[in-house]
Structure 1
């Protein structure tokens, strides 16, 4: 089982002291050249007077955008500490057992994909951004992630639409991929979606017994703690959908 997550918009800037990120030490080293390209473009853009507009950030985030210029030298921290926010508060990634954390993969506009043990600084960059010299980031990462991601077993897809655009499962993987849709009173909601996805992910990663190996087994595992309904793919080659009722 693999749990795919989006990053959080809010991030811990990182410690005051320590070594900076080593791109060649991150998981999926085949992405190093692509990471270098995006990082160089982001650092350059973040030094421009119109950086906030180009990065889709408001005036209140000017300091966060400016901090992007120090990404190569700023001390790094584990991904499990850097990403914060509603989903990550519910998941409580730092307290997951090491074996469970290895089943988590975070899709990132800057780094492509990351494991919880990877070390990076906080940054400001969304997947919906188009960087000069790189272009739209989802389109940039799509072929590169397709080359390095070949998940086995069930894929629990908790990504938002913007990050889902950066990697789509092939036909074989789609048969084992289940997107998590959150409902309240039978209606799709956004307010409680991140919190519920975090709770669902934590339940799946910490429950006793073997991880589910099929979409049906995934449904059975989720209904141990939540109301849920498994929907078959709506088109040939599509993935499954698990509708989960927000607690």
Structure 2
């Protein structure tokens, strides 16, 4: 089984990485092209583009200016350990063993507005660029058009190499939309997490996000390869 999850807005580049094992993003060239576009935006323009506060806009304008490959363990951090949101709280990757991390490297992918798709141990530099951002590029007026079929093609490569035909969708709708489902010849499993409130079951965003991370962790720790084991 191959799992896909969303990235997080919050990042942790202060805590030391618990492993020295690293890899490089597969679509760094495409990421650089996006950064080159974003470097031309002033902080006030980023506020309008991303719908963020002035403080966050200045921070991310600075991040784009400082973004510079090649990535190494001094200027970057592994994606799974750098993202720091509800999903990643559920995943709790800092407690993974080396064996867990290696399994995750083969069976988990993080969808990203900037990097397209990341393996857990791919090095990345700090950024904020959500997949739903209406950023104009030579390919169109949003990131879905920019990435086109590239993310799906990369997923197909991974699935073919591992002889897998099950994709576990633990990503948000915003990010899963970046995948061209017609290009994938797989069975897609999409767990939905609901909590009981006032006698009714509803999706509560923060709880659902953490539950997605916990399910990803469960799959990784138990080395699962059959979706029936998730029932």
- What is the TM-score with the length of structure 1 in the denominator? 0.74
Q: Distance in 1 between matches of 2:121 and 2:47?
A: 30
Matched, 1:99 2:102: yes
Contact 1:14 1:75 in 2 (8 A): no
Q: Take 2:90 and 2:101, find their aligned partners in 1: how far apart are those partners?
A: 18
Instruction: Show CA shifts across 1:70-125 (max 9, x none).
Output: 11279211112210111101101233313322111000000000111111111111
- The structural deviation recorded for 1:6 is 0.3
Q: In the alignment, is residue 41 of structure 1 matched against residue 37 of structure 2?
A: yes
- 1:71 is aligned to 67
CA contact (8 A) 1:43 1:70 kept: no
Where do 1:27-38 residues align within 5 Å?
Answer: 27-28=25-26, 31-38=27-34
CA drift at 1:14 = 5.6
- For structure 1, which runs of at least 5 residues remain unmatched after alignment? 17-24, 224-247
Distance 1:49 1:87 in 2: 30
Q: How many Å separate the matches in 1 of 2:195 and 2:12?
A: 30
Equivalent residues in 2 for 1:1-247 (5 A)?
1-13=1-13, 26-28=24-26, 31-45=27-41, 47-68=42-63, 69-72=65-68, 75-96=75-96, 97-102=100-105, 103-134=107-138, 135-150=141-156, 151=159, 152-170=164-182, 173-174=185-186, 176-185=187-196, 186-207=201-222, 211-213=224-226, 218=227, 220-223=228-231
How many residue pairs are counted as aligned between the two chains?
204
| Cα 1:67–1:48 shift into 2, 3 Å | closer
Give how far 1:184 is off.
1.3
SS in 1 for 2:212: helix
Q: Which has the higher helix share?
A: 2
Distance 1:66 1:14 in 2: 19
Q: Distance in 1 between matches of 2:127 and 2:45?
A: 17
From the superposition, tell whether residues 37 and 55 of structure 1 become closer, same or farther in structure 2 (CA, over 3 Å). Answer: same
1:203 shift after superposition: 0.8
Contact 2:4 2:168 in 1 (8 A): yes
